[in-house]
Structure 1
Amino acid sequence: MWQRKLAVLVVAGGVLWLFTPRYYQGPVNDHFDGTRFFNPGKPMDKGLLTVLKWRLTSKREPWPPWRELPCTDHPPRRVEGNALRVSFVGQVTTLTQTQGLNILTDPIWSERASPLPWIGPKRVHPPGIRFEDLPPIDLVLISHNHYDHLDLATIERLWHRDNPRILTPLGNDTLIHSRVPQARIETRDWGGQVVVNAQLTVRFEPMHHWSARTPLDRNRALWAAFVLETSGGRIYFVGDSGYGNGDYFRQAREKYGGFRLAILPIGDYDPRWFMAYNHMNPEETVQAWHILGRPFMLPTHYQTFQLADTGYAQPLIDLRAAMARAQAGEDRIRPLKAGEHWWVDGEDGGNAVMSGVGRKTE
């Protein structure tokens, strides 16, 4: 009898192995064991059973039903030189304009952050920029493969319209090419870089997170933060990250010295016993901002998709309390509503090819 059970397990394991996606194959290093990526010294201790426990005990705080935005952003076609304009589209999708380049971070224009169009977390408001109002997109940065960050439908729309360059950590190109075979994708490991042009170099740095699209592909693709080096200063973009004792933020400060702008997540952090590994709460984000040298900061990852137990309004309430404790005003940390934009450093847009104005939602 036991021989039969063993045979069944062996066959089942073989079938599972056959159907387990392999997005990347490369040499073993301090964060890749030859099969899966990991955070060095901080192994993830929450598996499927822990996810089920959270789902069964979840006490979700209220979120509103669908609501229209009072206005959406109508960005300029280009922003030249060192002027820096950033627009908050929603979740961690931002449009960053500087050096004559239009850069999208983790773009998602889909209605749901899900593999299926009829189920899964749904937007509570439209994107802060209508897709047809986007200027020509030159560069797309994708931090990792979770559905609210890597949205294949949006990538396909952008490819058909603008054919942008896509920069993403190792393994995510396999996912994107499964939907858009012709997409122009450049992947790098932590510590890698891409020279976009004479005005911009993008560097790949660690962030404390994980990846998965299905139960079978956990940590098969890498996650990363980005540092955008320009003559006007460095921009630090983190899509998702646990605080992880602040180690990666200290490393970034030591390596680069300082930043002009940090784009950091603040939301979807409850319950802490489950979410702390994945997502910073606002208090931790402000601590990270302090470690980074107190640059200008744009908070993200709130009031778009309900992905945790955290209430709709709570991230901004907690952020303002953390800002007060850190004696940080909105001249340094600027929470935006989706559809709003910010001329960083107080730039008035004088170097823009076309001035940007808000547009009422029709």
Structure 2
Amino acid sequence: MLSAIVSSPSVASAQPSDVSAKAHHNKNGKGFVNPWPSYRDASGIGFPLQILRWKLRGKWNTPDLTPPTVPVRKPEFLPTRQTDKLRATWLGHACYYVEFPGGLRVLFDPVFTDRCSPYSWIGPKRFTDMPCQVEDIPFIDAVIISHNHYDHLSHPTLERIAKKHPEAQYFVGLGNKPWFKHMGLDDTNVTELDWWEERTITLSSTEKGHGDQRQKDIAATIGCLPCQHTSARTAFDKEQTLWASWSVTSGDKKIWFGGDTGYRTVPELPDSEFDYDEKYAHLPHCPAFAEIGQLRGPFDLGLIPIGAYGPRALMSPMHASPYDSVNIFTDTKCKRALGIHWGTWVLTTEEVLEPPKVLKQALKWKGIEQDGVFETCDIGESREY
């Protein structure tokens, strides 16, 4: 078992010149905002009414869940902390387990429940099986949560993680720490961060060998970074806690976790029109990703959302399409990427196998035709870098 110390880094990473203005803090009240013209508020109490309007107009597609859909395999986690490669395992939706060279083990947005809902009997139900259980994961040093939506933050899952891995450290955006205490979870291991802030985590254990004791340390820098999204767990706490993307640097490898994000807001268009047609080139896109790439990149691996994007006029402010995703990929300066935020729950209207197909089209459109640069994998599959 490793003990953890979380501290401010000795040398701070680069930040935007206007970071002190905190433009994403709501100046008219409590909570946070997306401070860019690329975002339009399409969530909140009116969101279900907008969905109803689309359904009444016959424009809300119900995806076909007839098997087979996304392949699921049993993951093969490394039995020890020894590895000289970066290893990423997709556990469904936005959940990735990443094994870093040097020993750090990080779990992103874990949801090990059948439904992403406050209740076990209603809400979106998995159409693919869970590839494993929390108890099957041998090491969890850090748990990183992008935001508090139910498909990314799961109370039953965190209870199980805390029981199996009591020393695990949790990293969340501002305002999320009180939730841990309210839900009966230990909040002493929780670190809240604002956009562009970062912390160093040092894991230490005493190993015995040849009659003496050797101190083994694992170090990592974890950074909280912007994205274009929103937050809420009820009808009354909209945007009260901060959403974020994240970076993790350890063992000479650096990754960027996109979590859940939009890139630009697209108006309602005829079905025959492409929203990246030249006539829509004027639509603003979120500038934060280029800042991330310039100030914190390049990244060895990006975990970038590619699903839950239809219909575009409704979902585009907060969910990237694969065409948005490849722009985010190049903006953030990721060398390689894996697609997340698909293949687990039906949240929107696109067919469940559509995101990886459209991703291939988007990569070709972007002029990225090298195999393996930005790809998807089976649930439970691991990729090494």
4+ long deviations beyond 6 Å = none
Are 1:48 and 2:45 counterparts? yes
Please name the residue that 2:353 is paired with.
313
1:101, distance to aligned residue in structure 2 (A)? 1.6
Kept after mapping to 1: 8 A contact 2:173/2:241: yes
1:122-141 correspondence to structure 2 within 5 Å: 122-141=125-144
1:61, distance to aligned residue in structure 2 (A)? 3.6
1:252-331 correspondence to structure 2 within 5 Å: 252-325=292-365, 326-331=367-372
What do residues 309-328 of structure 1 show as CA deviations (whole Å, max 9, x unaligned)?
Answer: 11111111101111222333
What do residues 25-63 of structure 1 show as CA deviations (whole Å, max 9, x unaligned)?
Answer: xx9942122402001134643243343122342312423
1:331, distance to aligned residue in structure 2 (A)? 2.1
C-alpha separation in 2, matches of 1:168 and 1:257: 21
Are 1:162 and 2:165 counterparts? yes
> Are residues 212 and 87 of structure 1, via their aligned partners in 2, closer, same or farther at CA, if it must alter by over 3 Å?
same
Please name the residue that 1:175 is paired with.
179
> Are residues 51 and 179 of structure 1, via their aligned partners in 2, closer, same or farther at CA, if it must alter by over 3 Å?
same
Please name the residue that 1:230 is paired with.
250
Please name the residue that 1:38 is paired with.
33
1:329, distance to aligned residue in structure 2 (A)? 3.2
C-alpha separation in 1, matches of 2:316 and 2:123: 22
Kept after mapping to 1: 8 A contact 2:104/2:250: no
Matched residue of 2:23: which SS?
coil
C-alpha separation in 1, matches of 2:297 and 2:308: 29
TM score, norm. by length of structure 1: 0.83
C-alpha separation in 2, matches of 1:81 and 1:148: 30
C-alpha separation in 2, matches of 1:124 and 1:194: 37
Range that drifts further, 103-112 or 248-257: 248-257
Are 1:92 and 2:94 counterparts? yes
Equivalent residue letter for 2:294? E
User: 1:193 pairs with 168, 180, 198, which one?
Assistant: 198
1:229, distance to aligned residue in structure 2 (A)? 1.8
TM score, norm. by length of structure 2: 0.78
Matched residue of 1:210: which SS?
coil
Matched residue of 2:375: which SS?
coil
Equivalent residue letter for 1:38? V
Equivalent residue letter for 1:64? L
| Amino-acid identity (%) | 28
C-alpha separation in 2, matches of 1:39 and 1:333: 27
> Are residues 116 and 56 of structure 1, via their aligned partners in 2, closer, same or farther at CA, if it must alter by over 3 Å?
farther
Please name the residue that 2:13 is paired with.
none
Kept after mapping to 1: 8 A contact 2:310/2:350: yes
Equivalent residue letter for 2:353? A
Kept after mapping to 2: 8 A contact 1:66/1:123: no
1:280, distance to aligned residue in structure 2 (A)? 0.4
> Are residues 77 and 180 of structure 1, via their aligned partners in 2, closer, same or farther at CA, if it must alter by over 3 Å?
farther
> Are residues 221 and 204 of structure 1, via their aligned partners in 2, closer, same or farther at CA, if it must alter by over 3 Å?
same
Are 1:152 and 2:155 counterparts? yes
C-alpha separation in 2, matches of 1:291 and 1:307: 26
Kept after mapping to 2: 8 A contact 1:169/1:222: yes
Kept after mapping to 1: 8 A contact 2:228/2:286: no
Matched residue of 1:90: which SS?
coil
C-alpha separation in 2, matches of 1:312 and 1:70: 14
Kept after mapping to 2: 8 A contact 1:138/1:165: yes
C-alpha separation in 2, matches of 1:173 and 1:155: 13
Range that drifts further, 138-147 or 123-132: 123-132
C-alpha separation in 2, matches of 1:174 and 1:298: 32
> Are residues 257 and 94 of structure 1, via their aligned partners in 2, closer, same or farther at CA, if it must alter by over 3 Å?
closer
C-alpha separation in 2, matches of 1:70 and 1:94: 14
C-alpha separation in 1, matches of 2:171 and 2:293: 22
> Are residues 309 and 342 of structure 1, via their aligned partners in 2, closer, same or farther at CA, if it must alter by over 3 Å?
same
Please name the residue that 2:77 is paired with.
75
Kept after mapping to 2: 8 A contact 1:61/1:309: yes
C-alpha separation in 2, matches of 1:78 and 1:283: 38
Please name the residue that 1:57 is paired with.
54
C-alpha separation in 2, matches of 1:78 and 1:332: 28
C-alpha separation in 1, matches of 2:159 and 2:46: 34
Kept after mapping to 2: 8 A contact 1:294/1:332: no
C-alpha separation in 2, matches of 1:316 and 1:285: 11
Alignment RMSD (CA, Å): 2.1
1:181, distance to aligned residue in structure 2 (A)? 3.2
1:295, distance to aligned residue in structure 2 (A)? 1.1
1:249, distance to aligned residue in structure 2 (A)? 1.1
Range that drifts further, 40-49 or 163-172: 40-49
> Gapped runs of 5+ residues in structure 2?
1-19, 203-217, 265-284
Equivalent residue letter for 1:191? W
> Are residues 50 and 109 of structure 1, via their aligned partners in 2, closer, same or farther at CA, if it must alter by over 3 Å?
closer
C-alpha separation in 1, matches of 2:23 and 2:73: 46
